[in-house]
Amino acid sequence: MTNNKHVLVEFYAPWCGHCKALAPEYEKAATTLNEDEDTSAIKLAKVDATVESDLGTKYKVRGYPTLKFFKDGKDSEYGGGRTAPEIVNWLKKKTGPPAKELGSDEDVTKIKANNEVVVIGHFTDMGSDAGKKFIEVADTVDDVVFAYITDAGVASRATVNTNEVVIFKKFDEGRAEFKGDITNGDELAEFVKGNQLPLVTEFTSETAPKIFGGEIQVHNLLFISKASEEFDQNLAQFKEAAANFKGKVLFIYVDTETEDNQRVMEFFGLAKDDIPDYRIIKMSENMAKFKPDTKDLSADAITKFTEGVLTGDTKRHLMSADIPEDWNKGPVKVLVGKNFKEIAFDKSKKVFVEFYAPWCGHCKSLAPTWEKLGEKFGSNDDVIIAKMDSTANEVEDFEISGFPTLKFFPSGSDKILDYEGDRTVDAMAEYVESNGEKVSGGGEEESEEVCSCVDGCGFNNLANFFALTPNNSLIKNVHVHYTKQVCVLEGRLGSEKVFLICAF
């Protein structure tokens, strides 16, 4: 570190599947940097954090692989993608000027050939308000290459007019001209972010960082089989609709034939028979999901539905299983989304509900106790002991962030109380009998709560960490994103660090 000004370090684990997937891209990036005289001084290194545990602790490694960028020995988080070009471009932006001057036709040809997306501006005076604002915006966007031309002849042959900004890209229409005021930095930055991805992006582990790392928090997902006969036609309609929402909505398609995408389908309540179909999700509004009323996949229908979601005219979709015929036959009543409000908010009764997940270990441990609690009040018409599978059902009034979650709905009240007492029959029975007034004990056993315990669970961090922990029910408990993103759970489970997948 002391002999090199700029070093990117990968902290990895030999058993980590995502580290193995990154390895060839990391190697390509190192070769590319070394072969370019402008970047040969940038070094890439890696550390086996399972062996060098002290280094892992020192640099707060909380998932594999973790990439840290060192400048003059001082570390910072890596915020780029996981492909070789993305790694190289991010490092170029961090180690060089925000934008590169293109002084010849050869420079223009080279930068366009080497990048999927490049932003080129033409300014006769870089000291002008427009020129300075262009550099300022370039300095804030890490994952897109910016360049500028001052020579009129070079700019003309590059088809960029004076005081114009053009995005050249190797997809869709090939180029996009900025029509706004260049001195409005926010407007220019929004234009760049809205054009840096294709109109429609396939959902993969490679594109996930850009999908989740971006500022666009409304995603429209088309679930379709790439092997189907209607794929090209449906994708074309989806693209046509996407053109109306640049910079506002990310349009993404999910190949339903890919095994890793099955959980994505489950999260949106989709089965194979439902395909093809689409859903919209608002990431910043508690993962609110929206389902169209029809299966119309025309561009007009998709456009109209998306507009309704953006304006707030379309109501969010809450998943619900069908009401079982025997839902009220046993000591523990079975609730689903369709009958939840009717039962839980019945003010004439004391209603105690367990929100569970079928795979949750703590839920399985609690099950016999919960059954006994139901039996205890079986002959009491004023009390309902119930349960609801929160992986298949959603409610509008609150979010469930961990399993099992116990909520009490006292009689004669609109309150919703979180039960945090002992999970014994006697303690919970006393709580019910007191209408939620008397709580015994508490804190004996933590629920598998995750969201509030995650360290650094921002979109960018989530999008840049990957790990696998097989046979751990915790990996299924974080509905923070609809992809395999790694978070870390500390403290609540003791001193050990648990690496998990933020999936469904």
Instruction: Please identify which residue in the block is written with the tokens 């919970």.
Output: 428
Spatial neighbors of 22 by CB under 8 A, at least 6 apart, are 10, 12, 65, 82
Task: Find the catalytic residue in 360, 453, 457, 502.
Answer: 360
Q: How far apart are CA 4 and CA 73, in angstroms?
A: 8
DSSP 454: B
Q: H or E element: which one contains 133?
A: helix 129-140
Q: What would the two tokens of residue 282 be?
A: 């608002």
DSSP 468: -
Edge-to-edge strand ranges of the sheet holding 117-122: 99-101, 145-149, 117-122, 164-169, 175-177
Q: How far apart are CA 264 and CA 484, in angstroms?
A: 10
Q: What would the two tokens of residue 103 be?
A: 């002084």
State the DSSP string of 304-329.
HHHHHHHHT-SPPP---PPPPTTTTT
Q: Is 28 exposed, middle or buried (0-12, 13-18, 19+ CB in 10 A)?
A: middle
Task: Find the catalytic residue in 363, 457, 487, 502.
Answer: 363
Task: Find the catalytic residue in 16, 457, 487, 502.
Answer: 16
Q: What would the two tokens of residue 56 be?
A: 């892992």
* Residue 388 main-chain phi, psi, to 5 deg: -145, 130
**Residue 502 a catalytic site member:** no
56 three-class SS: helix
Q: How far apart are CA 301 and CA 388, in angstroms?
A: 34
Q: How far apart are CA 250 and CA 179, in angstroms?
A: 21
* Residue 437 main-chain phi, psi, to 5 deg: -90, -35
Q: How far apart are CA 33 and CA 460, in angstroms?
A: 24
**Residue 487 a catalytic site member:** no
Q: How far apart are CA 64 and CA 49, in angstroms?
A: 9
Task: Find the catalytic residue in 19, 453, 457, 502.
Answer: 19
63 and 499 in contact (C-beta within 8 Å)?
yes
Q: How far apart are CA 196 and CA 295, in angstroms?
A: 30
Q: Which residues are catalytic?
A: 16, 19, 360, 363
